[in-house]
Amino acid sequence: MSATPDPTPTRILMVCTGNICRSPYAGFLLAGGLRDIDASGFEVRSAGTRAMGGQPIDASSMALLGPLAAATDGFVATQLTAEMIRRQDAVLTMTRDQRGAVLRLQPDALRRTFTLREFGRLLDTVEIAELPRDRAERWRRLLPELAANRTSARIPDPADDDVIDPFGQGESAFREMARQIAPATERIVAFERTAADLAERDPE
């Protein structure tokens, strides 16, 4: 008899600097994709290392969300705190510098803190079929496995794990931001969709 699935949502925190351009865009994009797979299985939030507290998502980032923009109603930028980090299963930053800022606040978060693009890239280093079918158990196994694969999966230019900051720039910078973020969020959604399909076809 299989164990009862853990109903606790998997908590993912997106982090950038001001929490009005990159991290809310990435967060709402990922949340929308995951909601289509598991309506209550994930809680995706965002925060900033130097948040523009109380400000809404940048209009250019909101426009790029398309139909998902409706979910931004009521959003305000939030300052990153150590307590916030402690509550997360995974922390995904927009740059390596922000990853460092997270770890300065909460050093023991190392094995669950990645840049977003790094995380998406590292998902290709694991075999989904070998992970638990239960979502909560799967993510508990996944994070340390990805962390262990960092060294062997290094890329020639570490800057490719960063997302550009479009703040104060034109629409082309925001489009480039979206171009860098979307493949990583799509990879996470694809990973979960495959895992959900496996769980349905071959439950443990």
Instruction: Give domain status of residue 5, yes or no.
Output: no
Q: How many domains does the chain have?
A: 1
Q: What is the pLDDT of residue 163?
A: 98
Residue 33 belongs to a domain: yes
The CATH number covering residue 161 comes to 3.40.50.2300
Task: Give the pLDDT band (50/70/90) at residue 158.
Answer: confident
Q: What are the φ and ψ backbone dihedral angles of 79, each rounded to 5 degrees?
A: -75, 135
Q: How far apart are CA 113 and CA 94, in angstroms?
A: 11
Domain range for 83 is 10-201
Q: Once rounded to an integer, what is the mean pLDDT over residues 151-169? A: 88
pLDDT at 7: 81
Q: Which amino acid is at 54?
A: G
> Model confidence at 4, in pLDDT bands (50, 70, 90)?
low
- Is 1 among the domain residues? no
**Is residue 97 in some structural domain?**
yes
Q: Which of 63-77, 112-126, 144-158 has the lowest mean pLDDT?
A: 144-158
- The answer to the question of residue 4 being in a domain is no
Confidence of residue 200 (pLDDT cuts 50, 70, 90): confident
pTM of structure: 0.94
CB atoms within 10 A of CB 44: 24
Give per-residue pLDDT as tens, 119-142.
Answer: 999 999 999 999 999 999 999 999
